[in-house]
C-alpha cells in the first residue's frame, strides 16, 4: 500500500499550475464570459506544448500514454484556474475514445491535431443533447443508439443554451446519424462509452477539488485582508470555524478522487464505485466551500464583479454534471445494500 503521487507527477502538476497562473488569470475566464475566448485559445496552445493536451494519447500519436493517475493533478489545476474549454472531453475522454474506436481515417484526421492542440474534441454520451463548448470545438464524438460516431463540428447543428456558468458555452447538438460518421464497428462501443462516462465523472471530480481549493484560498485571503471592528474578520471565531469546516470537506474529498484515479487507471474491481465516491465527495465539498466562501465575502461576494462567482457557478454546474450526488449515491447503494 502506497498512497502518494510520484515526484514526477507532482512536478508535472507544478508546471501546469505555473502555466495556468501565467496565462489563465481570472480576466481570461471573465473574457470568455463576455464572449472573447481568444485568451483561452492561447492557453490551450501552451497546454498542448507542455504536453497536457496529449497526455492520454499513445506515443505513436505523439502523446505521453499517461493514465488517469497522471491526469488528476493537472486537471485539479484546471479547476483551480477555472479554465474554460473542453479539457475533460478532449483529454480525459475524447482522445482515448478516438484511439480505441476511431477508424484509420478518423484518427488520421483528428488525433494528431488534437494532441498538438489544434483540434478540440467534445463528447456527447447517449441521451446527452447539451454539450459544453460544442460550438467552439472541432469534432464531436457521440454515442447514439448504442453506436459510436465521430462528426466534424462543422457538420453538427449546435444551438446555444445558456449556462449559469457562461464560460461553459453550452450547445444543443444535433446531427444526421449516418454511416459516414460511424466509428469502428468491431469494438464494443457500449463498453468504451461506459468507461468514458467513468473517466468524465472522475475528471470532473478532479476539477472540483481544484475549484474548492481556489474558493477557499480566496475566502482565506479575504478573511485576512478585510477588517471590521478594528481587526481582520478572520480573527473572529465564527469565520475561522466556517473556513476550517470548508478545509475539512475539501481535504476529505481528495482521497476518494485519487483512489478512483488509481482504480480507473488500473481497471480495479469496482472502479465505478470508487468513481461514484469521488464524484459525490468532490461535488459536495465544492458546493459547501462555495457557500462558506460567499458568506465570508459578504456582499462583495454577491456580485459579478468579484471573481468568486465564476468559481461558484462552475462548482454548481460540475457538481451536477456526469452524475449528481443522487445518481452516484444510488449506484453505491445498489452495490452495498
Partner 1 sequence: MDLNFTDSENAFRRECRSWLEANVPRESLPSGDTKEGFALHLQWEHTLFEAGWAAVSWPKQYGGREATLFEWLIFEEEYYRVGAPSRVTQNGIFLLAPTLFEFGTDDQKERILRPMARGDVSWGQAWSEPNAGSDLASLKSTASRVEGGWRLNGQKTWSTRAVFCDMAYGLFRTDPEQARHRGLTYFLFPLHAEGVTVRGVDRLDGDEGFAEIFLEDVFVSDADIIGEVNQGWQVTMATTSSERGLSLRSPGRFMATAARLIDLYHRYRDRSDPVLRDEVIQAWMDAQVYRWFTFQTVTRMTQGESIGPDSSMNKVFWSEMDVRTHETALAIIGEALELDEGSDGAVDGGHWMKGFQFALAGPIYAGTNEIQRNIIAERVLGLPRK
Give the nearest distance from C-beta 21 to partner 1 in angstroms.
Answer: 20
* Nearer to partner 1 (CB atom), residue 22 or residue 241: 241
DSSP 163: -
Residue 240 touching partner 1 (CB under 8 A)? yes
Q: Report whether 140 contacts 151 (CB < 8 A).
A: yes
Closest CA to 38 of 18, 54, 19, 23: 23
Give the nearest distance from C-beta 198 to partner 1 in angstroms.
Answer: 16
| Cell numbers describing residue 39 | 485568451
* Nearest-angstrom CA–CA distance, 217 and 204: 20
Tell me, by CB under 8 A, how many residues bind partner 1: 41
Question: Of residues 256, 272, 283, 323, which one binds partner 1 by CB under 8 A?
Answer: 256
DSSP 37: T
Please tell me the number of Cα atoms within 13 Å of 266 on its side-chain side.
11
DSSP 323: S
Residue 172 touching partner 1 (CB under 8 A)? no
Give the nearest distance from C-beta 254 to partner 1 in angstroms.
Answer: 7
Per DSSP, the three-state class of 262 is helix
In the region spanning residues 59 to 78, those forming contacts with partner 1, defined by CB under 8 A, are 69
Which of the ranges 42-50, 131-139, 144-152, 248-256 carries the binding residues for partner 1, by CB under 8 A? 248-256
Which of the ranges 82-90, 93-101, 188-196, 325-333 carries the binding residues for partner 1, by CB under 8 A? 325-333
Name the strands in the sheet holding 139-144, side by side, starting at the edge strand that comes first in the sequence.
Answer: 121-124, 139-144, 147-152
* Nearer to partner 1 (CB atom), residue 2 or residue 145: 2
Residue 11 touching partner 1 (CB under 8 A)? no
Q: Parallel, antiparallel, or unpaired for β 139-144 and 121-124?
A: parallel
Beta bridge partners of 123: 141
* Nearest-angstrom CA–CA distance, 323 and 206: 14
Question: Of residues 1, 154, 179, 299, which one binds partner 1 by CB under 8 A?
Answer: 1
Give the nearest distance from C-beta 206 to partner 1 in angstroms.
Answer: 14
Residues making contact with partner 1 (CB under 8 A): 1-6, 69, 220, 223-224, 231-232, 234-235, 237, 239-241, 243-245, 247-248, 251-252, 254-256, 258-259, 262-263, 268, 277, 280-281, 329, 332-333, 336-337
Amino acid at each position: 500500500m502506497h498512497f502518494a503521487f510520484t515526484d514526477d507527477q507532482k512536478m508535472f502538476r507544478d508546471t501546469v499550475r505555473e502555466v495556468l497562473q501565467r496565462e489563465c488569470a481570472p480576466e481570461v475566464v471573465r473574457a470568455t464570459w463576455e464572449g472573447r475566448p481568444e485568451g483561452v485559445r492561447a492557453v490551450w496552445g501552451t497546454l498542448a506544448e507542455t504536453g497536457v493536451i496529449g497526455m492520454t494519447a499513445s506515443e505513436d500519436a505523439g502523446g505521453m500514454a499517461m493514465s488517469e493517475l497522471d491526469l488528476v493533478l493537472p486537471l485539479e489545476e484546471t479547476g483551480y484556474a477555472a479554465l474554460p474549454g473542453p479539457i475533460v472531453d478532449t483529454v480525459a475522454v475524447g482522445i482515448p475514445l478516438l484511439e480505441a474506436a476511431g477508424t484509420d481515417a478518423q484518427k488520421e484526421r483528428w488525433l494528431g491535431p488534437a494532441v498538438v492542440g489544434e483540434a478540440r474534441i467534445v463528447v456527447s454520451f447517449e441521451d446527452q443533447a447539451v454539450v459544453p463548448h460544442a460550438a467552439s470545438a472541432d469534432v464531436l464524438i457521440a454515442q447514439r443508439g448504442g453506436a459510436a460516431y465521430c462528426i466534424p463540428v462543422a457538420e453538427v447543428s449546435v444551438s446555444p443554451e445558456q449556462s449559469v456558468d457562461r464560460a461553459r458555452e453550452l450547445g444543443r447538438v444535433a446531427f444526421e446519424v449516418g454511416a459516414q460518421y460511424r466509428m469502428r464497428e468491431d469494438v464494443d462501443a457500449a463498453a468504451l462509452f461506459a468507461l468514458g462516462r467513468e473517466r468524465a465523472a472522475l475528471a470532473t471530480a478532479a476539477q472540483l477539488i481544484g475549484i474548492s481549493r481556489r474558493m477557499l484560498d480566496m475566502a482565506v485571503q479575504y478573511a485576512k485582508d478585510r477588517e471590521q471592528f478594528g481587526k481582520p474578520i478572520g480573527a473572529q471565531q465564527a469565520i475561522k470555524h466556517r473556513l476550517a469546516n470548508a478545509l475539512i470537506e475539501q481535504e476529505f474529498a481528495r482521497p476518494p478522487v485519487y483512489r478512483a484515479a488509481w482504480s480507473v487507471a488500473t481497471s480495479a474491481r469496482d472502479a465505478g464505485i470508487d468513481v461514484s465516491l469521488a464524484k459525490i465527495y468532490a461535488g459536495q465539498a465544492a458546493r459547501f466551500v462555495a457557500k462558506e466562501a460567499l458568506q465570508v465575502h459578504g456582499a462583495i461576494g454577491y456580485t459579478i464583479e468579484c471573481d468568486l462567482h465564476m468559481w461558484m457557478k462552475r462548482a454548481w454546474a460540475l457538481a451536477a454534471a456526469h452524475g449528481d450526488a443522487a445518481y452516484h449515491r444510488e449506484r453505491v447503494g445498489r452495490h452495498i445494500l
